[in-house]
Chain A
Amino acid sequence: MFGKKRVAIVGAGLTLFRRNLKETGKELAYEASKMALDAAGMELSDIQSVVMGTAPDAFDGVHMKGEYLADGAGARNKPYVRVYVGGGTGVFTPLAGWWHVASGQFDTCLVVCEEKMSSCFPHPAYAFTTIFDNILARPLGTTLIWIFALEMHRYMHKHNIKKEQIARVAVKNKRNALDHPCAQLAANITVEDVLNSEIMCWPVQRLDISPTSDGAAALVLASEDVAKKVTDNPVWIDGVGWCIDSTIWTNRDLYYPDYVEYAARMAYKMAGIKNPPKEIDLAEPYDPFDYKELHHMEGLLLCRKGEAPKLTEEGVTARDGDLPICPSGGLLGVGNPIAAAGAMKVCEVFWQLRGEAGKRQVPGDPRTGVAQAWGDLMQYGSVIVLRR
């Protein structure tokens, strides 16, 4: 066993994801936290530690965002920390919660992720410009979409992948999201709709991208002894992995995310997974763009390099396929309040493994699922393996 104690997820909560919600970030954090506690049948007094995940402060214009959100996360007078690894935050935050409990230091940990992107004007895209290298990249007017388009194009070039193949991911995920009550961009669209949508930064088009969103998600983590007292069906955190590559991304071959593979190998080793496609029943890889789902399936070793588009075409990754990918609807369909979006994926795997996903439930009584997020300058991977 890794750590002193085995750790389970015993409750999850989620708010609506929308372009603009009236609630403050603090209020959203409270709503998700309270829902997760209620689902676990626990009170705040049962919680011994709190971990908050939230991404760039520039969205909110509130620099001490961890402190600002603390009350909403139920952290008053408790051990509390905010963690931040860019887009990787939403899956990394449960990992940080895991070590709080696995270390034996705490029996319980409330994990809360929040993002409110709507407060930033004229567009939250401007807030992203503060992440770039201040000497070499910013003077050129670099935008987030430029660099992701560079990565997408490199990936397409390396494996000779067509845009039609990638568009299928957007079609699948937006359709899956029709069954998600929190979804912001659920839709029945076609590959042609994606290919005919406005070109943002070639090869990225409007429907290749997830939206900007407000929202929050929360999870209650408990040690084995506590988990078995509060629930008959705990979901175990059996594998954790995280990894960062060099920030000098122009010196890396962007066609493949090595750092995701390293994070996945760390998590699989801990979970005793030797053959990921056989042993993993469903996955929620990070999909802020449609190509990222494919890129991350490969990094997660769910298929060979360059093979993910083919599996998608063959329907293997559909909700009723052999290896369902993003049955939630993902960021493309449910929305992308950055840290909350990654945590939404962990919530989804939790609900899927408990058989509570309703219309979104993948068939075949899944036992093992993986969620992954990606962030910073195309360099960070965070991976969690859950089992029932």
Chain B
Amino acid sequence: MSEKIKSYPGFRIKTADLREGKVPFEAWRPRVRYAWSAGIAMSRFLEELKNGRIIATYCNKCGRIMVPPRVFCEQCFKPVDGWKYVKDTGTINTYSVSFIAGDASRIKEPIIVAVIDIDGASPGMGILHKIGEINWKEVKFGMKVKAVWKPPEERVGSITDIKYFKPIREETL
């Protein structure tokens, strides 16, 4: 705002005014759906998830082993040099705990979300997933975690074939 300007345009209404028809409006709902081919790299990745394995690609020029895998190295801008299985364990790089759903409404059980740096890939190669079998207040940065897979017959070739990652307890090491 400039002190030279005395009034600013804009007529405030309430969202409820729209719902209750207190202001003229028009409503519309889109009727489309989408289906995406997963692509060259992701198709292989998803097929391997169905087999209960996480696969990476590597680039011999920069030396990175990359998860999620890609068919070209975005740094070197060349094709990757091959595929490599990595572990289904990793380290929590960062995490957050959601108490709300997509529409901002409250949910009963909080969802723990994390970036998990995958063992066997280059440092800092993380994927987004959920953390389970732990109270959210006990989650720590740097915590070691392991994938909890759906039973083979329930896997469909999706990132959700991993139900979540659970902490690796001392005694199970």
Residues in A lying within 8 Å of B, measured CB to CB: 12, 14-23, 28, 31-32, 35, 39, 61, 118, 122-123, 125-126, 129, 134-137, 139-143, 145-147, 149-154, 157, 180-182, 198-204, 214-215, 246, 248, 250-254, 351, 354, 356-358, 360
Residues in B lying within 8 Å of A, measured CB to CB: 1-5, 8-15, 17-18, 23, 28, 30, 34, 36, 38-39, 42, 46, 66, 68, 70, 74, 93-104, 110-111, 113-115, 124-130, 136, 141, 158-160
**Do the beta carbons of A251 and B113 come within 8 Å of each other?**
no
**Do the beta carbons of A135 and B103 come within 8 Å of each other?**
no
**Do the beta carbons of B10 and A126 come within 8 Å of each other?**
no
Q: How far is the CA of A201 from the CA of B102 in the complex (A)?
A: 11
Further contacts, 13 of them, CB under 8 A, given A22-B13, A126-B102 = A20-B15, A125-B102, A135-B39, A136-B42, A141-B102, A145-B100, A151-B94, A198-B99, A199-B99, A200-B98, A201-B113, A215-B10, A357-B2
With A20-B12, A21-B10 in contact, is A182–B1 under 8 Å at CB? yes
**Do the beta carbons of A157 and B102 come within 8 Å of each other?**
no
**Do the beta carbons of A356 and B4 come within 8 Å of each other?**
yes
Q: How far is the CA of A203 from the CA of B125 in the complex (A)?
A: 23
**Do the beta carbons of B12 and A21 come within 8 Å of each other?**
yes
Q: How far is the CA of A182 from the CA of B6 in the complex (A)?
A: 11
Which residue of A is nearest B41, CB measured? A135
Q: How far is the CA of A137 from the CA of B124 in the complex (A)?
A: 18
Q: Which residue of A14, A21, A204, A252 contacts B11 across the interface (Cβ within 8 Å)? A: A21
Q: Which residue of B11, B98, B141 contacts A201 across the interface (Cβ within 8 Å)? A: B98
**Do the beta carbons of A61 and B113 come within 8 Å of each other?**
no
Provide the residues of chain A in CB contact with B93, threshold 8 Å. Answer: 154, 253
Provide the residues of chain B in CB contact with A215, threshold 8 Å. Answer: 10
Q: List 9 A-B contacts (CB under 8 A).
A: A122-B103, A129-B102, A140-B160, A145-B98, A146-B96, A154-B115, A201-B99, A202-B110, A356-B3
Provide the residues of chain A in CB contact with B2, threshold 8 Å. Answer: 12, 39, 351, 354, 356-358
Minimal beta-carbon separation of B78 from chain A (angstroms): 16
**Do the beta carbons of A251 and B130 come within 8 Å of each other?**
no
Provide the residues of chain A in CB contact with B97, threshold 8 Å. Answer: 149, 199, 201-202
Q: How far is the CA of A215 from the CA of B115 in the complex (A)?
A: 35
Which residue of B is nearest A11, CB measured? B2
**Do the beta carbons of B13 and A250 come within 8 Å of each other?**
no
Provide the residues of chain A in CB contact with B100, threshold 8 Å. Answer: 143, 145, 200-201
**Do the beta carbons of B9 and A15 come within 8 Å of each other?**
yes
**Do the beta carbons of B103 and A125 come within 8 Å of each other?**
yes
Q: How far is the CA of A152 from the CA of B141 in the complex (A)?
A: 13
**Do the beta carbons of A358 and B3 come within 8 Å of each other?**
yes
Q: How far is the CA of A113 from the CA of B1 in the complex (A)?
A: 16
Q: How far is the CA of A253 from the CA of B125 in the complex (A)?
A: 10
With A140-B159, A180-B1, A356-B2 in contact, is A22–B23 under 8 Å at CB? yes
Which residue of A is nearest B116, CB measured? A250
**Do the beta carbons of B66 and A15 come within 8 Å of each other?**
no
Provide the residues of chain B in CB contact with A20, threshold 8 Å. Answer: 12-15, 17-18
The 5 closest A-B pairs by CB, nearest first: A16-B10, A149-B96, A358-B3, A154-B94, A31-B9
**Do the beta carbons of A16 and B66 come within 8 Å of each other?**
no
Q: How far is the CA of A143 from the CA of B99 in the complex (A)?
A: 12
Q: How far is the CA of A35 from the CA of B158 in the complex (A)?
A: 52
With A150-B115, A357-B2, A358-B3 in contact, is A254–B94 under 8 Å at CB? yes
Q: Which residue of B10, B42, B94 contacts A150 across the interface (Cβ within 8 Å)? A: B94
Minimal beta-carbon separation of A242 from chain B (angstroms): 19
Provide the residues of chain B in CB contact with A358, threshold 8 Å. Answer: 1-3
Provide the residues of chain A in CB contact with B98, threshold 8 Å. Answer: 143, 145-146, 149, 200-202
Residue of A28, A137, A157 contacting most chain B CB atoms (<10 Å): A157
Provide the residues of chain A in CB contact with B130, threshold 8 Å. Answer: 140
Provide the residues of chain B in CB contact with A143, threshold 8 Å. Answer: 98, 100-102
Provide the residues of chain B in CB contact with A153, threshold 8 Å. Answer: 94-96
With A150-B115, A182-B1 in contact, is A136–B128 under 8 Å at CB? yes
**Do the beta carbons of B96 and A22 come within 8 Å of each other?**
no
Q: How far is the CA of A201 from the CA of B101 in the complex (A)?
A: 10
**Do the beta carbons of A39 and B128 come within 8 Å of each other?**
no
Q: How far is the CA of A357 from the CA of B136 in the complex (A)?
A: 46
Provide the residues of chain A in CB contact with B8, threshold 8 Å. Answer: 14-16, 35, 181-182
Minimal beta-carbon separation of A201 from chain B (angstroms): 4
**Do the beta carbons of B128 and A123 come within 8 Å of each other?**
no
Which residue of B is nearest A200, CB measured? B100
Provide the residues of chain A in CB contact with B10, threshold 8 Å. Answer: 15-18, 21, 23, 28, 31, 182, 214-215
